[in-house]
Amino acid sequence: MPTSVTARAPAKINLSLAVGRRRADGYHSIATVFHAVGLWDEVTATPAGGLEVSVTGPEARGVPTGPDNLAARAATLLAARAGVRPDVRLHVTKQIPVAGGLAGGSADAAAALVACDALWGLAAHRDVLLSVAAQVGSDVPFALVGGTAMGTGRGERLTPALARGRFSWVLAVAGDGLSTPAVYAELDRLRGPARGSPLVVPPELMTALRTGDAAGVGACLHNDLQRPALSLRPALRKVLDVGEDYGALGAVVSGSGPTCALLARDDDHALDLAVALTSSGTCRSVARAPGPVPGARVVPG
């Protein structure tokens, strides 16, 4: 058995997110295009007498270390599925902001699954990991897979999407997070609970991804959760306006927000956008990240 295994998993943004009606189980059916971007959380799994979690890193504040930590839940569910004891210490190094709309908790869960699978020598089938991932949360399967993928159901059913080239993103991180259930509830309140969008992914977006057409991708960015996120946090409008003023190809609230994703023409333009956002005072911090990047992987060495 190795003495410890470290895995890392990326943040995600949604290039397109259509939200259907609220289902009987409280979730909403969605049709989305997930896109993994190069902002990473790491999880190191080490043998221990029981399940322990610790968290450090620039975005560690507010992450629970008890059983509701998503990395802990993932390890517990994987251990139960494999018939082993979840005797592991999980150390999470967080760079992805909490409650930011970037699926940071889901990244931790996916990294924990990959790290524990390797530590315990399970070599679990990909389908087993995906099914445990879906039990932990709607976005966890995508954090395992990465790249660019269409998501349906509540987001857990994935189909890989063909994307050519590399896109330069700028992520504007807000001071305080937004609760995902609260943003979905605000959407229901604004449009009426019986209303839902058609569950479609724009064909123009898929064409732009296939051909590596950044301007086309920028023009197609869409998120049904943007309206409720702006309703709960009107100041986000200013972040999107900075993007427009400084020539972003597109700007959109990521997932349930409050992080906003701005698409730059190239890395130089991304730097200009990052400087403009920082000096505008409209967000707490700014990160530049390329996409797409792979999903959760063991970090060699």
User: How far apart are CB 179 and ligand C5P at their closest, in Å?
Assistant: 8
* Residue 107 vs 172, nearer CB to ligand C5P: 107
Q: Which stretch, 27-35, 80-88, 212-220, 262-270, contacts ligand C5P (CB under 6 A)? A: 27-35
Amino acid letter, residue 94: K
- Residue 139 designated active-site: yes
Number of residues located near ligand C5P, criterion CB under 6 A: 12
Q: Which of 7, 11, 13, 30 binds ligand C5P (CB under 6 A)?
A: 30
14, 44, 168, 180: which one binds ligand C5P (CB under 6 A): 180
Q: Please, what's the largest Cα pairwise distance for the chain?
A: 56
Q: Is residue 142 within the footprint of ligand C5P (CB under 6 A)?
A: no
The CA distance from 268 to 270, in Å, is 5
Q: Rule CB under 6 A: say whether 227 interacts with ligand C5P.
A: no
How far is residue 155's CA from residue 151's CA, in Å, rounded to a whole number?
5
Q: Which is nearer to ligand C5P, 154 or 265 (CB)?
A: 154
Dihedral (Cα; 59, 133, 295, 16), 10-degree rounding: -80
Q: Which of 12, 41, 94, 224 is catalytic?
A: 12
Q: Select 96 or 170, whichever has its Cβ closest to ligand C5P.
A: 96
How many Cα atoms are found within 13 Å in the side-chain-facing hemisphere of 176? Answer: 6
Q: Which residue has the tokens 């700014």?
A: 286
* 117 versus 139: smaller Cβ distance to ligand C5P: 139
Among residues 117, 139, 213, 224, the one annotated as catalytic is 139
Phi, psi for residue 273 in degrees, rounded to 5: -65, -40
Dihedral of CA atoms 76, 77, 81, 87 in degrees, nearest 10, equals -10
Token reading at 3: 């003495």
Please identify every residue annotated as catalytic. 12, 139
Which stretches of the chain bind ligand C5P, using CB under 6 A? Answer: 26-28, 30, 137-139, 154-155, 180-181, 184
